[in-house]
Amino acid sequence: MTFDGELGQGVVVTMGRLIAGFGLAAGLGVAVGLLMVSFRRFGRLMNAFSMGLQSFPSIAWVPFAILFVGLNDLGIVFVMVVSSTFSMMVSTYAGIINIPPIYVKAARNMGTGGLSLFSSVMLPASMPSLITGLRQTWSFAWHALIGAEILMATVGLGALLEFGAEFVRMDQIIASMLVIFIIGLVADKLVFSRVEDSVRAKRGLRQPGR
């Protein structure tokens, strides 16, 4: 699979979909989360609504995506976005509303307000929650992507799994599963875990080097 280019092509296509879907989900989740903070009634409603949708299986969005978006890359990205946006949205909302009020009061007493208050005080104080939200959003997006590719794609790691099952090729199934596992492990341990540990250490929530 490596020498004939099949595996490389699958990895490239899957990673392209992952970057697109994860980027859209993270950006949309942060934007809606900020709206939830600005409009408290909307925030409480969406918070309760999103908690239910987070438990909704991502694979259940596939028939909806096929019918209303299409059996294409856009449909796969749609499944990823609706499966992972709510995690980022809730983390953004919870991270900001749980900032200790003394931080905001102290900043306002020193003359900070408006956009400066948000960028200099509220955003840094909520950063640990935002990083955790990004990590969870990545995990949800990765799971949704592989599931959607199994049912909707002809190229990609999920498609390789499906073809392996269809033609009873256990070697192809195991090879695809190993690559999926390695990509997930590398992204989590070398990117998100390190960023999260660095942010927590800077906030005094974890000792540096541990």
Q: Which domains does the chain have, with CATH numbers?
A: 6-202 (1.10.3720.10)
Tens digits of residue pLDDT in 80-137: 999 999 889 988 888 888 888 888 788 888 877 777 777 778 778 888 888 888 888 9
pLDDT of residue 208: 47
Cβ atoms of residues 47 and 32 within 8 Å: no
pLDDT, position 70: 87
Report d(CA 180, CA 7) in Å as an integer: 11
Q: HEC profile for 74-131? A: HHHHHHHHHHHHHHHHHHHHHHHHCCCHHHHHHHHHCCCCHHHHHHHHHHHHHHHHHH
pLDDT in tens, 32-43: 988 888 888 888
For residue 107, the tally of other CB atoms under 10 A from its CB is 17
pLDDT score recorded for residue 204 = 62
**Phi then psi dihedrals of residue 155, to 5 deg:** -135, 135
